[in-house]
Structure formats: structure tokens, C-alpha cells
Amino acid sequence: MSGVEQAPTTGFSLVLTGRAAEEVQKFISQEQVPVESAGLRVSVLPGGCSGFKYSLNIEERPLEDDMVSEVNGVRVFVDGFSAQYLTGVTIDYVSSMQGSGFTFSNPNATGGCGCGSSFTA
């Protein structure tokens, strides 16, 4: 399946491409966090130019009420509010002449804007 793995059903189901997973692993190794419990927090926050925006953070450990899943070798932490907006989302990492960074593809979004990190649901 070309390096793309989907999370098991844990209240959210998102895709982290192999390239994105490699970059997250690099960030985790650069941070001063315990590798055995650290992971990537994927969240949806109110704001952005379309109503919601995505947020990615490396964290030492999940919070008590987080949903935790292993996606493509990366521990992913998602809170209950964000989970409803993340089903089916694909997170990739792209490099181009304009720069490099994480991209989000959300089949459930009803609108978006040019920045690629804000959406309407």
C-alpha cells in the first residue's frame, strides 16, 4: 500500500503517509522527550480563515482523555473534539520550491482557503 497506513478504529481514523511519519520521527528525536511515550498530537482548533485549523505538536505523553493510536509507526494523540473532524484526513509532508511542510487532505471539509491548513466542516 505504498507506505500509507491507516489507524485502527479508536474514535478517529486518519492517514499519515510514510514521508510524514519520517518527518515526525525526526522531530521526536530532536525534541527532549521520552521516545517510549512521546507522540504527535493532531488537533483541530477553532480559527483560521475558514472556521477551523489543524494543529500538530510533539508531546511527551498523551493526556488522560486522549485517544491514542499507532499510525505508520508514529504514536498519535487526538482529543475528543478533534476526533470528529479527523476521520479520513490524510497528513503528508511535501517539499517544493515554495518550501516544505505538512499538508492536510480532508474529504469531509465543505470549504477551505488558500493556506491549506484551514477548513469549513
What is the domain-level CATH number for residue 92? 2.60.300.12
Tell me the CA distances in angstroms from 113 to 38, 84, 89, one per residue in order.
Answer: 32, 20, 16
Per-residue pLDDT, 68: 95
Confidence of residue 90 (pLDDT cuts 50, 70, 90): very high
Pairing, β 90-96 against β 111-112: unpaired
Per-residue pLDDT, 23: 95
Read off the pLDDT of residues 1-57 as tens digits, 9 standing for 90 and up: 445 544 444 567 899 999 999 999 999 999 989 989 999 999 998 876 667 888 999
Domain with 87 in it: 5-108
User: Does residue 20 fall inside a structural domain?
Assistant: yes
Read off the pLDDT of residues 93-105 as tens digits, 9 standing for 90 and up: 998 887 889 988 8
Indicate whether 120 pLDDT > 70: no
Element containing residue 18 per DSSP (H, E): helix 18-30
Contact yes or no for 83/12 (Cβ under 8 A): yes
Our count of domains for the chain comes to 1
User: Does residue 22 fall inside a structural domain?
Assistant: yes
Per-residue pLDDT, 72: 94
User: Does residue 59 fall inside a structural domain?
Assistant: yes
